[in-house]
Structure 1
Amino acid sequence: MTDPTRRGPCVVVAGGGTAGHIEPALALADAVRRLRPDARVVALGTERGLEKTIIPARGYQLEMIPPVPMPRKPNVDLLKLPLKVRSAVKTTREVLDRVGADVVVGFGGYVALPAYLAARGRTPIVVHDSNARVGLANKVGARFADKVAVAVPDSGLPNAEVVGIPLRESIIQLDRHALRARARQFFGLHPQAPTLLVFGGSQGARSINNAVSACARQFADARIGVLHAHGPKNSLVVQDVPGAPRYIGVPYLDRMDMAYAAADAVLCRSGAMTVAEVSAVGLPAIFVPLPHGNGEQALNAKPVVDAGGGYTVLDEELTPQRVAELAIPLLTDQRRLASMSAAAQGTGHRAAADVLARMVLDVVRK
């Protein structure tokens, strides 16, 4: 039950599973606290997602609920789904009552679905979707939400407002040029050489690792440095060329702000969060959409590519030759880097977190 002595609103965010769901939820949480320091933010999560470590580390209360993964194909798991949903909704409703939720904000995924169903008819709901193609959970939640926000136009959700993707303040406020010298020293990169940042998501990407690392000698000959996050379960063996800028491989990037500041361009997947961040900081990009799923990663990259801020290369076409053909001329052309950087920044929504936070708090007031 709600505590009558509590001053500020209680905002419950549901965005567990992957960083693409968790990071927008936490960016919103930070924005809510900036606008309403007396607010409480509680996050819903499951034992199987990244949220069990990320959310407490960022200083937010985490309440665990049973996951409700949606089967992609008709199978025995689909038959078990109604029981799993019922159990998860019951547990989630108990959490919402106990913390005194004033609004539930869902970001999609298997944490959001039980949150929407538990809040329906009892607690106001705000839905946010980051992807060009909306997932099932948010399609369900949007049917009875008080407000629906999306990252891009033409999402297919009814009455949706385009706000962009909420981003961390460390990304929004990042001045790459002012931080460049310190960032390159932080990673041990050459202080002046043009630098390519490479990553394939939190777990890395084998196709990206193989294609880019095979170009190590060509990058060295072109006097280009490389910072390559290959994923904690993968390895990368690249020999430094004496006198050339270094090719540095790391399992994971804890300081993405530093990585962005160190780089002149990036080669990466095109998840919605990744596209939003590299655009916000103005990094020219070579996007390699994930070859699985429903094709949403190619759609995520399209506005930036159409604006002239990046290129798209299909995963099956990502050869060492293709990497060299695109990356080396780009990184050795300062004029093109500058024009693509400006084009990328022009596609972003840097104020998305604050816009969404105001929307959420307005729903609470009403």
Structure 2
Amino acid sequence: MSQYGTQYLPRMGSGPSVVIAGGGTAGHIEPALALADAVKRLRPDATVTALGTEKGLDRTLIPARGYPLELIPPVPLPRKPSADLLRLPGRVRGAVARVREVLEKVDADVVVGFGGYVALPAYLGARGRVPIVVHEANARAGLANKVGARFAARVVAAVPGSGLRNAQILGIPLRHAVTTLDRAALRAEARARFGLPADGPVLLVFGGSQGARSLNAAVAAALPGLLREGVGVLHAHGAGNGPAGGQAGYVGLPYIDDMHLAYAAADAVLCRAGAMTVAEVSAVGLPAVYVPLPIGNGEQALNAQPVVAAGGGVIVPDAELTGDRVLAELVPWLKDPARLAAMGEAARGSGHADADERLAEVVLGVIRT
């Protein structure tokens, strides 16, 4: 029974119909798809439909995972007062109408939102019609989830302190390939796959799909010292951003498709501190130097703090990241297998590797309520 007095019951004679709203960026889409996979594992008869827009990565990532994609008009959420803010109500109305068409078409039993500009119209379109579950991945909730949480049946967050009242802390749903990764068993295969040295420590560096300028510059400066110390480097640098190639022990790529293999090949990580990045790196048990993106409201630093507090890594401010700092932070770890192992266990212990199935149980439980 919802707070509005409407009793939500699953459709008779068929499996549950789940609608996920997490489009736009990989940070919203990947947790939504991990949940979808978990729902299908728990209820093979379930139908999962994704809401998305023409913009962002929706049309690339969602169909590739085998889920139907229903397009709705995008509703960008301005961070500050602007002309776009004045146009927002009209944009929302059109998107909400389209969401309601989709909910009726798929006979939806529940809507699960992960924030962003797809989630807001999804919440408004489902309100009073279909129960809503809100998932907040970041340490500080965004506008869409703040709105959705006001009338959701359940609210779930990755970490404490998101600002959403009565949020259950479950972590971030991650791909099964990540949460079940046996790094030791795949180490030799993974290193061969990337052309890395079979022996010795390996540092994995990545800064998102476009790379990260400050990480790239610091790695370029630190690379001679890393190679002298016998440290191999696997570096996802973004298109056209990598250091000069041809150096033994260094592998630079514009991006890495098989991230689970990259994790298996590595002993430590240098990366940003987006919510998905922190969740994956800690789930596979890799110690990391986290370099929060120096924009927004500081949520990236907050994302990494639980792992750092547990002993699974350190935070280095972007302005302090230099080649010398990379060497000073990482070489002592990479030359000390016992320390690496202890930090890796601390990182793993701070995570929530079962968040996908726990969230799926919450979602299916809401339908049965």
Instruction: Give the TM-score of the pair, scaled to structure 2.
Output: 0.96
Corresponding residue for 1:120? 127
Corresponding residue for 1:54? 61
Q: Return the letter of the residue paired with 1:253.
A: I
- SS of the counterpart of 1:286? strand
Measured in 1, the distance between the counterparts of 2:328 and 2:10 equals 62
Task: State the percentage of identical aligned residues.
Answer: 66
1:224 CA drift (Å): 0.6
Q: Return the letter of the residue paired with 2:298.
A: G
- SS of the counterpart of 1:214? helix
Measured in 1, the distance between the counterparts of 2:247 and 2:254 equals 17
Matches within 5 A, 1:182-261: 182-232=189-239, 234-241=241-248, 246-261=249-264
- Are 1:269 and 2:272 matched, yes or no? yes
Corresponding residue for 1:34? 41
1:327 CA drift (Å): 1.3
1:234 CA drift (Å): 2.7
Instruction: Give the TM-score of the pair, scaled to structure 1.
Output: 0.96
Partners of 2:11 and 2:109 within 8 A in 1:
no
Unaligned 5+ runs, structure 2: 1-8
- Are 1:329 and 2:332 matched, yes or no? yes
Partners of 1:3 and 1:100 within 8 A in 2:
no
1:239 CA drift (Å): 4.3
Unaligned 5+ runs, structure 1: none
Measured in 2, the distance between the counterparts of 1:4 and 1:174 equals 36
Find runs of 4+ consecutive structure 1 residues off by over 4 angstroms. 2-6
Corresponding residue for 2:3? none
Between 255-264 and 2-11, report the one with greater CA deviation. Answer: 2-11
Measured in 2, the distance between the counterparts of 1:111 and 1:49 equals 11
- SS of the counterpart of 2:234? strand
Corresponding residue for 2:349? 346
Corresponding residue for 1:130? 137
Partners of 2:10 and 2:16 within 8 A in 1:
no
Measured in 2, the distance between the counterparts of 1:113 and 1:311 equals 34
Measured in 2, the distance between the counterparts of 1:4 and 1:121 equals 17
Corresponding residue for 1:364? 367
Measured in 1, the distance between the counterparts of 2:194 and 2:240 equals 20
1:85 CA drift (Å): 0.6
* Cα displacement string for residues 137-194 of structure 1 (whole angstroms, at most 9, x for unaligned residues): 0000000000001111122211111111111110110010111000000000000120
1:238 CA drift (Å): 3.8
- SS of the counterpart of 1:170? helix
Measured in 1, the distance between the counterparts of 2:355 and 2:240 equals 33
Q: Aligned Cα RMSD in Å?
A: 1.3
- Are 1:85 and 2:92 matched, yes or no? yes
1:164 paired residue among 144, 148, 171: 171
1:6 CA drift (Å): 5.4
Q: How many residue pairs were aligned?
A: 361
C-alpha change, 1:119 and 1:310, in structure 2 (3 Å) is same
Corresponding residue for 1:289? 292
Q: Return the letter of the residue paired with 2:67.
A: Y
Corresponding residue for 1:316? 319
